[in-house]
Structure 1
Amino acid sequence: MNFWQRLFESTERQFWVCHTAGWLGFGLIYYFGSFLHDMRSVWLFVIMLNVYTGWLITIPLRYVYRRVWRLEPWRMVLVALLAAYIAAVIWAVLRNINYWEIYKHGYRPDEWVYYFSNIVHSFTVILCWSGLYFGIKYYRLLQQEKQNALKATTMAHQAHLKMLRYQLNPHFLFNTLNAISTLVLVGETKTANGMVSRLSDFLRYSLDKDPIKKVPLDQEIQALDLYLAIEKVRFEDRLTVQWDIADKTRQALVPSLILQPLIENAIKYAIAKTEQGGMISISSKQFGQDLLIEVADNGPGADIQNGMLRRNHGVGLPNIRERLQSLYDNNFSFTVSHNEPSGVRVSIRIPFQVDQDGK
């Protein structure tokens, strides 16, 4: 945090800095505005006294304005004008004393009106001070409201992202628990124990990783290994996985658990639909300034229109698109196409980013 940020980090400090700087600025303008009138040091001393008395007199106004801030507008304006006028009269009297007693060396004018000749000027200056006070206070209030609105929007955005990701977990959990139950019933306790262990590790990863933050692709691959190891227990030799991960992409940042729903869809609609099973291929490569990730299967295929699947009641792919939209705005692409010779291919393009530890 630099000097100016520290200087203005508290409201109290902001007031004293602005209050003092404003009165010093008034003194400089007043002095140079009357420079040709008198260049003697006594005139500078009088101006300094006037600035100091004005600085003192306007301090109580701050506390008066604080109390009237939440009143009805007309009441607030009325009280502020009255307080400013009282402060202006007191300041005008003190300015007269400084002028006649110090600058004029005790000279007394014949007409008393000269003692009040600068009330209008004093009232104008006090009104300017009051206007700046209310203006700065109102500006700070608007900024605070903007920050609160931004914070609320951010919290809602984060909650939405968490909902999108955690909405997918029950589907996988339901299928896995059914498989474990089946293994226990047929006496495959060793296999069931291994499956429970992998499930525990996968769920721990799922819960530990914040869906708002991005993680290296290598961590996602490790999580997918756990997930696929669980699914291989269910499908045995019917499930084949092919990896093609470019080494330079392993540290690229991706949204946590962004690929798991794609693998889940491929297993549900490609592997589970055919008796002989099938293969899922997962690849990643750097394409210019982007990271390209593809998940493909060789299943029976699907109805695809405008780059999206035509399936009822599916939440996986729409959720992925919404997460990518929330995290990358429009700087991404998410398309579904036909795989050759059969099956479905899902392609994700996001900006190629690497965290500081991975650089």
Structure 2
Amino acid sequence: MRNIDDKKHLQFWLLHTLGWIGFAVVHYLGSLVQEMRDAYLWVVMLDAFVGWLLTIPLRYVYQRAWHWHPLKMIITVLMLATLVAVIWTIFKNHSYWEIYRHGFTPKSWSWMQIYLRHAPVSFYVILSWSGLYFGIKYYQTLQREKQKLLTATNRAHEAQLKMLRYQLNPHFLFNTLNAIATLVLTRENDTAEKMVTRLSDFLRYSLYKDPIKKVPLQQEISAARLYLEIEKVRFSERLKVSFEVGDDACQALVPSLILQPLIENAIKYAVANRVEGGTIAISAKKFGHDLLLEVADDGPGVPLDRGLPKSEHSGVGLVNTRERLAALYDHNFSLVLTHNEPQGLRVNIRIPYELETAGS
């Protein structure tokens, strides 16, 4: 990010300087058509340099105005362009009469006429500079968003491949199919049929859900329930699950399959390795403009250092999840690991609260 900011900073100074040099060249070539004396070159160079100086502060104001409401931003740009144009016009007239006309000044009654004739030209030049600044900034922002989308696409596909490698491995399918076979042998056909349906629905969701798109949280919760119901066949009473999802959180958009690796880690390290099993608690709620997701367990936990696991207990899941969130939300997210009380691990995710818009 720092390299990108440095590059943008360098681009501004380069384009800013080249733009005013271009203004000076065009202005001077126009003076040749009017057969102005050579001394006018100094006036043109001085005018361009002052214009170069006066428009520098506009950059820093426009950086803030970029995030404002469009109407407020337009009014600000027009007011600043007018102010800078007036100051620049005063200087240009002063330099013209003092340098080119050697101190000869027009009669006092004609000053207003001169300013009224030259101020609009200065205003259009400053307004053009402002338009170019916002145009270039919009182009840079568009390119950056395209790059972020490309990165998110690559990360999500990578995450999907890693997840499918676990979901379709022989252990998961063998344990599930073996449990179904046992149910059939014990003539629990209704339960076996339900398990086949759950497995089919879960695999369909995992295989065909686009990991690039965001989906309502309730879909993710449904997929999590399917997965946990399948695992309950394996662990029986050793696996306990609780859900606490706020009503206003159900329709919030989240990256698809974002909870899956967290739940897998909880089962692998907090349930499967313990004779007594464990409990997994999944919760979600809206907090201000954010959506808070949490997956907690009462397992042995992991050593933490500044919220990050020291061991491999986090597996690929947490690292992969962090990469996906960074690609999708840039810096506007958090993924924090803390100790659960009285024992276990708690994984908290904060992302912007978004709802699906009509037509999307």
Q: Shorter-normalised TM-score: what interval?
A: 0.5 to 0.7
Partner residue, 1:280: 280
Q: SS of the residue aligned with 1:258?
A: coil
Q: Is the 8 A contact 1:244 1:282 kept in 2?
A: yes
Partner residue, 2:332: 331
Q: Is the 8 A contact 1:270 1:301 kept in 2?
A: yes
Is 1:179 the equivalent of 2:175? Answer: yes
How far is 1:168 from its partner?
1.4
- In 1, Cα distance between the equivalents of 2:306 and 2:150? 33
How far is 1:202 from its partner?
1.0
Is 1:170 the equivalent of 2:165? Answer: yes
Partner residue, 1:100: none
Gapped regions of structure 1 (runs ≥ 5): 1-28, 34-143
How far is 1:301 from its partner?
1.3
Partner residue, 1:299: 299
- In 2, Cα distance between the equivalents of 1:179 and 1:281? 23
Q: Is the 8 A contact 2:164 2:207 kept in 1?
A: no
Is 1:199 the equivalent of 2:178? Answer: no
For residues 90-101 of structure 1, the aligned pairs below 5 Å read none
- In 2, Cα distance between the equivalents of 1:187 and 1:288? 47
Question: 1:247-299, CA deviations, whole angstroms, 9 ceiling, x for partnerless residues?
Answer: 01100110001001111100000011211111111111111111111110011
How far is 1:325 from its partner?
0.2
For residues 86-165 of structure 1, the aligned pairs below 5 Å read 154-155=149-150, 157-165=152-160
For residues 1-359 of structure 1, the aligned pairs below 5 Å read 154-155=149-150, 157-174=152-169, 175-183=171-179, 186=182, 188=184, 190=189, 193-312=193-312, 314-357=315-358
How far is 1:197 from its partner?
2.5
How far is 1:185 from its partner?
6.3
1:275–1:325 CA distance, 2 compared to 1 (3 A): same
- In 1, Cα distance between the equivalents of 2:272 and 2:316? 19
- Pair member with larger Rg: 1
- In 2, Cα distance between the equivalents of 1:150 and 1:242? 38
How far is 1:357 from its partner?
4.8
Question: 1:212-256, CA deviations, whole angstroms, 9 ceiling, x for partnerless residues?
Answer: 111010111111111111111111111111111110110011000
Q: Is the 8 A contact 1:244 1:283 kept in 2?
A: yes
- In 1, Cα distance between the equivalents of 2:298 and 2:146? 45
1:254–1:148 CA distance, 2 compared to 1 (3 A): closer
Question: 1:41-79, CA deviations, whole angstroms, 9 ceiling, x for partnerless residues?
Answer: xxxxxxxxxxxxxxxxxxxxxxxxxxxxxxxxxxxxxxx
Q: TM-score normalised to the size of structure 1?
A: 0.55
Q: Is the 8 A contact 1:176 1:230 kept in 2?
A: no
Q: Is the 8 A contact 1:240 1:278 kept in 2?
A: yes
Q: Is the 8 A contact 2:152 2:328 kept in 1?
A: no
Partner residue, 2:53: none
- In 1, Cα distance between the equivalents of 2:351 and 2:359? 18
How far is 1:184 from its partner?
6.0
- In 1, Cα distance between the equivalents of 2:359 and 2:274? 41
What is the aligned-residue RMSD (CA, Å)? 3.1
- In 2, Cα distance between the equivalents of 1:245 and 1:150? 31
Question: 1:300-345, CA deviations, whole angstroms, 9 ceiling, x for partnerless residues?
Answer: 1111122122233821100000000000000000011100000000
Q: Is the 8 A contact 2:149 2:328 kept in 1?
A: no
Q: Is the 8 A contact 2:322 2:335 kept in 1?
A: yes
Question: 1:81-113, CA deviations, whole angstroms, 9 ceiling, x for partnerless residues?
Answer: xxxxxxxxxxxxxxxxxxxxxxxxxxxxxxxxx
The count of aligned residue pairs is: 218
Q: TM-score normalised to the size of structure 2?
A: 0.55
How far is 1:150 from its partner?
8.1
Q: Is the 8 A contact 2:245 2:285 kept in 1?
A: yes
Return the letter of the residue paired with 1:236: S
Q: Is the 8 A contact 2:333 2:351 kept in 1?
A: yes
- In 2, Cα distance between the equivalents of 1:300 and 1:262? 16
Q: Is the 8 A contact 1:172 1:264 kept in 2?
A: no
Return the letter of the residue paired with 1:305: D
1:244–1:318 CA distance, 2 compared to 1 (3 A): same
How far is 1:157 from its partner?
4.1
Q: SS of the residue aligned with 1:211?
A: coil
1:172–1:163 CA distance, 2 compared to 1 (3 A): same
